[in-house]
Amino acid sequence: MSWVVLVISGVLEAVWATALGRSEGFSRLTPSIVFGVALVASMAGLAYAMRDLPTGTAYAVWVGIGAALTVTYAMVTGTEAVSLLKIGLILVIVGAVVGLKLAH
């Protein structure tokens, strides 16, 4: 169960990171609210998962999922340039996350 919660928390990290960028310094209400809700839920999920998982592993997986999804979303929506190098590096991050799960 901790791994499922951790993955969901990683997805929520991507949500709050994207919302933070769209909030324009917290000057836009809706993205600011999405940021706050997603941030609290993401941190709560990370804290829950860390009850059963080692801190280093949980944090690395959480950050890896969040980072990979954030940059992937930005490339899909056109707010960040797409390149084969970026795609390859995202796949390395995903591979590392999977590796951490398998090593656990």
pLDDT for residue 95: 96
Handedness of CA 3, 49, 38, 73 (dihedral sign): negative
In the structure encoding, which two tokens stand for residue 29, read together?
Answer: 């209400």
pLDDT for residue 6: 97
pLDDT for residue 104: 79
The pTM score is 0.92
Pairwise CA distance, residues 3 & 1, whole Å: 5
Q: Domain locations in the chain?
A: 2-103
What are the average pLDDT values for consecutive 10-residue runs of the chain, which has 104 residues?
A: 97 98 97 98 98 96 97 96 96 95 88
In the structure encoding, which two tokens stand for residue 30, read together?
Answer: 């809706």
